[in-house]
């Protein structure tokens, strides 16, 4: 549990204690419905912070301390996926492309992932015919990703990894991830692209 979440929980407890004390001394000026609204807003604030505080904080990643995740590929390794079907039903064959590849591992609910995909959306990389780009949504389905694409006007080619079977070939946790791959299908570099200046982490 993060410090921010603990602070919010303590704030809820303090408010409840204050309201109880006021009630006991007959100084409570808020009606029951207003009290309930305040408490509900505080609880919702905690829930929202949990969801948005970090793209790393998924259920399977809580056990990894200090943002340290196991990575299962290294520079020079062959790309561990050979084909994938995008959300439009088209098969992408990495073996036949004969281009450099840019593979993004992301999630539509992740703030950093949204920033990265929006930045990539505006990048001249999308118009570079020498690079094949695919962004793979972890543990999401086609319907969800296509709706997200439409809402955010995303032009980056998208695919899904419904059961995490693709993602787990790369790392134990942490998104978004940027993987650059050479024409020979060997990994050049994989970077965790959190924070600012994410496109600078695309290294060829």
pLDDT tens track for 12-68: 555 555 544 444 444 445 555 565 666 656 555 545 554 444 465 444 444 444 457
CB-based contact 55:111 (threshold 8 Å): yes
Indicate the DSSP class of residue 59: G
Residue from 1, 33, 39 nearest 17 by CA: 39
- Cβ count near 43 (within 10 Å): 13
Q: Domain boundaries in the chain? A: 3-53, 65-201
Could you tell me the pLDDT band of residue 99, with boundaries at 50, 70 and 90? very high
CA-angle at 105, arms to 114 and 62, nearest 5°: 85
Which pLDDT score, from 0 to 100, does residue 1 have?
44
Indicate the fold that domain 65-201 takes in CATH.
Glutaredoxin (3.40.30)
Could you tell me the pLDDT band of residue 10, with boundaries at 50, 70 and 90? low
Strand order, beta sheet including 100-106: 158-161, 131-138, 100-106, 177-181, 187-192
DSSP-derived 3-state class of residue 82: coil
Is the pLDDT confidence value at 186 over 70?
A: yes
Helices 142-152 and 111-121 pack at an angle, to 10 degrees, of: 60
């Amino acid at each position: 549990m993060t410090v921010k979440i603990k602070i919010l929980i303590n704030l809820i407890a303090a408010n409840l204690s204050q309201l109880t004390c006021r009630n006991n001394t007959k100084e409570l000026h808020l009606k029951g419905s207003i009290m309930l609204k305040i408490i509900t807003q505080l609880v919702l604030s905690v829930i929202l912070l949990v969801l948005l505080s970090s793209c790393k904080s998924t259920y399977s990643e809580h056990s990894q301390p200090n943002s340290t995740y196991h990575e299962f590929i290294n520079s020079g390794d062959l790309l561990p996926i050979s084909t994938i079907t995008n959300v439009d039903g088209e098969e992408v064959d990495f073996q036949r492309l004969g281009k450099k590849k840019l593979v993004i591992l992301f999630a539509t609910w992740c703030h950093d992932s949204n920033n990265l995909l929006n930045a990539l959306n505006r990048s001249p990389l999308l118009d570079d015919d020498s690079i094949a780009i695919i962004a793979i949504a972890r543990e999401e389905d086609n319907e969800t990703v296509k709706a997200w694409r439409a809402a955010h006007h995303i032009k980056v080619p998208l695919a899904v990894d419904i059961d995490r079977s693709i993602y787990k070939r790369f790392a134990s946790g942490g998104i978004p991830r940027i993987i650059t791959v050479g024409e020979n299908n060997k990994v050049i570099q994989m970077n965790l692209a959190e924070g600012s200046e994410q496109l600078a982490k695309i290294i060829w």
